[in-house]
Amino acid sequence: MNKQVMSSNLLSLEGVHTHIGAYHILHGVDLQVPRGELTMLLGRNGAGKTTTLRTIMGLWPASQGRISFGGEDITALNTPAIAQKNIAYVPENMGIFSDLTVKENMLLAARSAKHAAQMDETRLQWIFKLFPAVEKFWNHPAGKLSGGQKQMLAVARAIVEPRDLLIIDEPSKGLAPAIIQNMIDAFQQLKHSGVTILLVEQNMHFAQQLGDTVAVMDNGRVVHAGRMQALAEDKALQQSLLGLAL
């Protein structure tokens, strides 16, 4: 294997299969997530995108194949161990603890802080600028936030401490267009900070603005992988892969 090629990919999936009970969902997924870039994972409903993310995080064990992170094999690790490798996961349902305050949600995500005071103040200020709602509702129960604000809190939680990889599942789902634009701006800023991001999306507009690399899934496999630029320019390819052209 070309070592040069391998080390430029922070996360790599090779021939990953996942079974959930009797259902065979992933049929040999090959996915490369280059370091420092934002990789978009696209596909129709039911293509296996969420399953892929959950398999990476160890929430569903891979029945076959190999997942490596930073050159290390993480296929068989359990979820907390994977998260401790500095991978942050924002699930589709956001995973917000609604009975806890926004502050407590953030504190929970800050593994190295024992009290709120121990969280990195500078970093928090940066997060407040990206997501003003997080500062505004700091002491309120997170359940009181609107859908868009919860989404922002979910992402804020993922970056409260520096992480090497962010795995995010459909952050724009159900959000109003204005909020989506906020989200896009926030992600642009995140990208500049050098963190690697793997993002699942259905919103092509969102995807186009942010993606560097793109992988398209169908029926539990990655059927196309390449630069987002190339896909954005090829309407015919978009039509055949996703059934729509933008």
Partner 1 sequence: MKLEEDIDTRPLLLVPVLALLAWPLIGSGSTWLTLTVAGLAMGMIIFIMASGLTLVFGLMDVLNFGHGLFIALGAFVATSVLGAMGDWTGSGEWWRNMVAVLPAMLIAMAVAAAVGLAFERFIVRPVYGQHLKQILITMGGMIIGEELIKVIWGPQQIALPLPEAMRGAVLWGDAAIEKYRLLAVAVGLAVFAVQMWVLGRTKIGLLIRAGVQDREMVESLGYRIRRLFIGVFVAGSALAGLGGVMWGLYQQNVVPQMGAQVNVLIFIVIIIGGLGSTGGALIGALLVGLMANYTGFLAPKVALFSNIALMAAILLWRPQGVYPVANR
Restricting to residues 130-159, name those near partner 1 by CB under 8 A: 139-141, 157
Number of residues that bind partner 1 (CB under 8 A): 26
**Residue-by-residue DSSP string for 89-151:** EE-TTTT--TTSBHHHHHHHH-TT-SSGGGS-HHHHHHHHHH-HHHHHTTTSBGGGS-HHHHH
- CB of 166 vs partner 1, minimal distance in Å: 12
Q: Which is nearer to partner 1, 104 or 212 (CB)?
A: 104
Cβ 153 to partner 1 shortest distance, Å: 13
Asked whether position 99 contacts partner 1 by CB under 8 A, the answer is: yes
Q: How far is the CB of 163 from partner 1 (least distance, A)?
A: 10
Distance CA 133, CA 154 (A): 12
Q: Which is nearer to partner 1, 82 or 124 (CB)?
A: 82
Phi first, then psi: give them for residue 223, nearest 5 degrees: -100, -10
DSSP string, 1-23: --HHHHHTEEEEEEEEEEEETTE
Tell me: does residue 121 bind partner 1 (CB under 8 A): no
Which run of H or of E encompasses 24?
Answer: strand 23-34
244 touching partner 1, by CB under 8 A: no
User: Would you state the structure tokens that stand for residue 154, as one six-digit string?
Assistant: 């979910």
User: Is 92 or 212 the residue whose CB approaches partner 1 more closely?
Assistant: 92
Residue 7: count other Cβ atoms within 10 Å of its Cβ. Answer: 11
In this complex, which beta carbon is closest to partner 1, that of residue 65 or of residue 141?
A: 141
Please report, as a single letter, which amino acid is at residue 28. G
Report the residue number, 53 or 130, with the smaller CB distance to partner 1.
Answer: 53
- Cα(41)–Cα(218) distance, integer angstroms: 11
Q: How far is the CB of 184 from partner 1 (least distance, A)?
A: 24
| 111, 136, 227, 235: residue in contact with partner 1 (rule CB under 8 A) | 111
User: Minimum distance between the CB of residue 80 and partner 1, rounded to whole angstroms?
Assistant: 5
| DSSP string for residues in 216-246 | EEETTEEEEEEEHHHHHH-HHHHHHHHS---
83 is a site residue for partner 1 (CB under 8 A) = yes
C-beta atoms surrounding 139 within 10 Å = 8
Contact residues toward partner 1 (CB under 8 A) are 57, 59, 78-80, 83-84, 89, 91, 95, 97-101, 104, 107-109, 111, 114-115, 139-141, 157
